[in-house]
Amino acid sequence: MNKSKIWLSSPHMGGNEQQFVNEAFEANWVAPLGPNVTGFETDLEHYLDSDVHVGALSSGTAALHLALILLGIQPGDEVLCQSMTFSASANPIAYLGALPIFVDSEPTTWNICPNALEDAIKDRIQKGKKPKAIVAVHLYGMPFQVDAILAIAQRYEIPIVEDSAEALGSTYQGKKCGTFGTIGVLSFNGNKIITTSGGGALVAKTKELKEKAVFLATQARDAAPHYQHSEIGYNYRLSNICAGIGRGQMQVLDDHIALRRGMHTFYQEALKGEEGITVFSEPHADYFSNHWLSALVIDPEKCHGKTREDLRLAFEAENIESRPLWKPMHLQPVFENYLYFGGKVSEHLFTNGLCLPSGSNLTDAERNRILEVLQRFKN
């Protein structure tokens, strides 16, 4: 095969990243602190345009781990978690010796279902195990049902860890994702809408909480001339080199969102009128997705028996990457012994759904190769 690989989502530099990195070299700020780290945090705070305080960290997973620590999660505590997500949403619950309780999705946003969530909370309270937190995710950039989920969290007084790793730039009723939860989480891994090669951030509502997060992320050093520790610390701060990439990426974030949304429109148009294929789209105008990944669901009965696996293999034959939707956590071998609330929505999505090449850097020629595969699949 000599056709070049088309990826689901690959890094897309804007042009100024290297300049920020060079400045770091010139000033010898080659460390997990420095002007790029502070600058990147300020850029993010301005972008989220809410009264938030951002701490830059080594990964989104680190941010989730610290978020749960800051909420006081202890061994044996129960934490509710959207089942349909990347494993990094759930793993930090296990790091703390706490127990994830998985919750199904609803079919419009593919995110945590308010009804299943409330059933889970009521059941656990009845058993004397009130959940200590809710991990809710904006999958593929699509905001979860923010009003409904926040109302439940408020009613039962349970904090929300808002996993916004895939949703930087998405909004709900005009407000940026990452700012709704008690604590928000961002990721800048290589395949996300912007990347620092690897990195993440914790979004706090107060300066004190951010400072506590940074304190824990830098080995929990007490104020003393020697190394003194009263708490267990972590090495979770973002490197000043990586933060330089992030500063450059912030300059092109809105362009990247427009391009990713353009890919979503491309798929909508390519598949217009196809009864058995649904392109994942915003339910109504309250929702604005960054469309980090475009995705679709195939109903084989309405597609002459053709399945999403047929489409995936057709792409693969042309050296085009596509991937089934996230496999729900309650179906993962490592989490099979934990409780689950809900029905088969996430399972159905996993069986019939496919993520499509969605990069902001796809060329016209690459789009044509994708289109040819879709055209052949339709016929």
Binding characters for ligand PLP, 190-229, by CB under 6 A (x = yes):
----------x-----------------------------
Nearer to ligand PLP, 43 or 366 (CB): 43
286 close to 173: Cβ distance less than 8 angstroms: yes
Shortest distance in whole angstroms from residue 14 CB to ligand PLP: 20
Single out the segment in contact with ligand PLP by CB under 6 A; choices: 16-24, 158-166, 261-269, 330-338.
Answer: 158-166
Shortest distance in whole angstroms from residue 293 CB to ligand PLP: 9
61 binding ligand PLP? (CB under 6 A): yes
**Strand pairing class (53-57; 200-204):** antiparallel
- In eight-state DSSP terms, residue 105 is B
Q: What span, in angstroms and rounded, lies between the C-alpha atoms of 150 and 143?
A: 12
Nearer to ligand PLP, 77 or 166 (CB): 166
Nearer to ligand PLP, 85 or 145 (CB): 85
The residue with its CB nearest to ligand PLP is: 60
Q: Which of 161, 165, 277, 356 binds ligand PLP (CB under 6 A)?
A: 165
DSSP-assigned letters across all residues of 29-62: --SS-SHHHHHHHHHHHHHHTSS-EEEEES-HHH
Q: Which of 36, 39, 41, 59 binds ligand PLP (CB under 6 A)?
A: 59
Q: What span, in angstroms and rounded, lies between the C-alpha atoms of 52 and 289?
A: 21
- In eight-state DSSP terms, residue 112 is B
Nearer to ligand PLP, 109 or 277 (CB): 109
- Rounded to 10 deg, the angle between the 240-250 and 35-48 helix axes is 40
- HEC states along 124-170? HHHCCCCCCEEEEECHHHCCCCHHHHHHHHHHCCCCEEEECCCCCCC
Binding characters for ligand PLP, 173-192, by CB under 6 A (x = yes):
--------------x-x---
Nearer to ligand PLP, 84 or 153 (CB): 84
Select which of 132, 176, 192, 210 is catalytic. 192
Binding characters for ligand PLP, 81-100, by CB under 6 A (x = yes):
----xx-xx-----------
Q: What is the CA radius of gyration of the chain?
A: 21
Q: What span, in angstroms and rounded, lies between the C-alpha atoms of 187 and 198?
A: 8
Residue type at 336 in one-letter notation: E
Q: Which residues of 293-310 are buried (b: 16+ CB within 10 A; e: fewer)?
A: bbbbbbeeeebeebebee
163 binding ligand PLP? (CB under 6 A): yes
Virtual torsion, Cα 130, 147, 92, 101, nearest 10 deg: 40
Shortest distance in whole angstroms from residue 357 CB to ligand PLP: 17
C-alpha separations of 30 from 58, 195, 201 in Å? 14, 18, 19
Single out the segment in contact with ligand PLP by CB under 6 A; choices: 70-78, 80-88, 330-338, 348-356.
Answer: 80-88
How many residues line the site for ligand PLP (CB under 6 A)? 14
192 is catalytic: yes
Shortest distance in whole angstroms from residue 88 CB to ligand PLP: 4
Site for ligand PLP in 130-149 (CB under 6 A): 137
118 binding ligand PLP? (CB under 6 A): no
- Is the torsion defined by CA of 216, 90, 282, 5 positive or negative? positive
Torsion angles phi and psi, residue 225, rounded to 5: -70, -30
Single out the segment in contact with ligand PLP by CB under 6 A; choices: 53-61, 98-106, 277-285, 354-362.
Answer: 53-61
Shortest distance in whole angstroms from residue 189 CB to ligand PLP: 4
Shortest distance in whole angstroms from residue 144 CB to ligand PLP: 11
Q: What span, in angstroms and rounded, lies between the C-alpha atoms of 206 and 288?
A: 26
Give the catalytic positions in this structure: 192
Q: Which positions touch ligand PLP (CB under 6 A)?
A: 59-61, 85-86, 88-89, 137, 163, 165-166, 187, 189, 200
